[in-house]
């Protein structure tokens, strides 16, 4: 079976000449059989040059669509198993990052180091209160760096901002580090598993590890 991909645009698009042409991947010499999804009923409609798009509407969040995708590909010749769901899940887990979205905003590493150098509250920051509230300073070590720093946990309400601050403090990119902490019992744990409130109550010191 061959894959015929006819792509017709609505006439509301411009004067560009390519608008109304059909795009046929099979105009290349060799035709390599490709599995065609039997669920794609719309393929037959392409001959009629539909006025409206879209070809395929996706939800921004791929995970929401994973069930829809499973249905569409049930008849796919080379996989009849239910592993699609597992694989789709793994994509979302993969992209979730305790520091937030990787590489956004698009600011180079050397520039990220400038941030968090707030002015107006004095350069030091280690002494005195910020805005009248109580400070909660804990020691932070970075793997491979001898000198420890201190961070005021009361300035943060989430793991995200904490990791970002710490990463910047040591001139690292937050995607390259993972945060661990020592709790009241002396155990070292990976940060992020417990709610922030519980974390604050039990944390003794922090350590940033390279990923």
Partner 1 sequence: MACSFPEEVLEHVFSFLTSQKDRNAVSVVCKSWYEMERWCRKRIFVGNCYSVNPRIMIRRFPEVKSVELKGKPHFADFNLVPEGWGGFVYPWIVEIARGYPWLEEIRLKRMVVTDECLEMISKSFKNFKVLVLSSCEGFSTDGLAAIVANCRNLRVLDLRECEVEELSGHWLSHFPDSFTSLESLNMACLLSEVSFSALERLVARSPNLKTLRLNRTVPLEKLSTLLQRAPQLVDFGTGAYSAEIRPDVYSSLADAFSGCKNLKSLSGFWDVTPAYLPAICSVCSLLTSLNLSYATTQSPDLTKIVGQCYNLQRLVVLDYIEDTGLNTISISCKDLRELVVFPSDPFVADADVLLTEQGLVSVSQGCPKLQSVLYFCRQMSNSALISISKNRPNLTCFRLCIIEPRAPDYVTLEPLDVGFGSVVENCKQLTRLSMSGLLTDRVFEYIGTHAKNLDMLSIAFAGDSDLGLHHVLSGCDSLRKLEIRDCPFGDKALLANASKLERMRSLWMSSCFVSFGACKLLGQKMPGLNVEVIDERENISSIPECTPVEKVYIYRTVSGQRFDIPDYVRIMGKDKDGVYDLS
Task: Sort 174 into a burial class: Cβ within 10 Å, 0-12 / 13-18 / 19+.
Answer: buried
CB atoms under 10 Å from CB of 14, counted, come to: 9
Q: How far is the CB of 117 from partner 1 (least distance, A)?
A: 5
DSSP state letter for 45:
G
Give 30 or 186: the residue with its C-beta nearer to partner 1: 30
**Which residues sit at the interface with partner 1, rule CB under 8 A?**
3, 5, 7, 9, 13-16, 18, 23, 25, 28, 30, 32, 34-35, 53-60, 62, 69, 73, 76, 78-79, 83-84, 87-88, 90-91, 94-95, 100-112, 114-120, 161, 164, 173, 175-176
Q: How far is the CB of 127 from partner 1 (least distance, A)?
A: 19
Q: How far is the CB of 109 from partner 1 (least distance, A)?
A: 8
Q: What is the DSSP string of 83-135?
A: HHHHHHHHHHHHH--TTSSTT-S---HHHHTTTT--SSS-S--SSS-STTSPP
170 Cβ partners below 8 Å, 6+ apart? 142, 145, 149, 177, 208
Give 24 or 187: the residue with its C-beta nearer to partner 1: 24
Give 1 or 109: the residue with its C-beta nearer to partner 1: 109
Q: How far is the CB of 205 from partner 1 (least distance, A)?
A: 23
Q: How far is the CB of 182 from partner 1 (least distance, A)?
A: 26
């Amino acid at each position: 079976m061959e894959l015929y991909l006819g792509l017709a645009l609505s006439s509301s698009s411009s004067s560009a000449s390519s608008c109304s042409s059909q795009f046929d991947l099979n105009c290349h010499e060799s035709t390599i059989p490709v599995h065609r999804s039997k669920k794609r009923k719309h393929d037959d409609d392409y001959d009629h040059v539909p006025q409206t798009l879209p070809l395929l509407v996706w939800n921004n969040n791929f995970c929401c669509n994973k069930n829809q995708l499973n249905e569409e590909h049930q008849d796919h010749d080379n996989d009849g198993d239910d592993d699609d769901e597992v694989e789709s899940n793994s994509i979302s887990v993969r992209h979730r990052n305790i520091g937030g979205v990787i590489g956004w905003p698009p600011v180079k590493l050397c520039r990220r180091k400038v941030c968090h150098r707030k002015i107006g509250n004095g350069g030091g920051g280690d002494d005195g209160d910020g805005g009248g509230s109580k400070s909660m300073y804990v020691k932070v070590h970075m793997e491979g760096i001898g000198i420890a720093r201190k961070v005021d946990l009361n300035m943060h309400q989430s793991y995200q901002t904490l990791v970002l601050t710490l990463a910047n403090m040591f001139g690292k990119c937050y995607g390259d580090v993972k945060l661990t902490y020592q709790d009241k019992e002396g155990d070292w744990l990976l940060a992020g598993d417990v709610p922030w409130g519980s974390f604050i109550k039990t944390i003794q010191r922090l350590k940033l590890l390279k990923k």
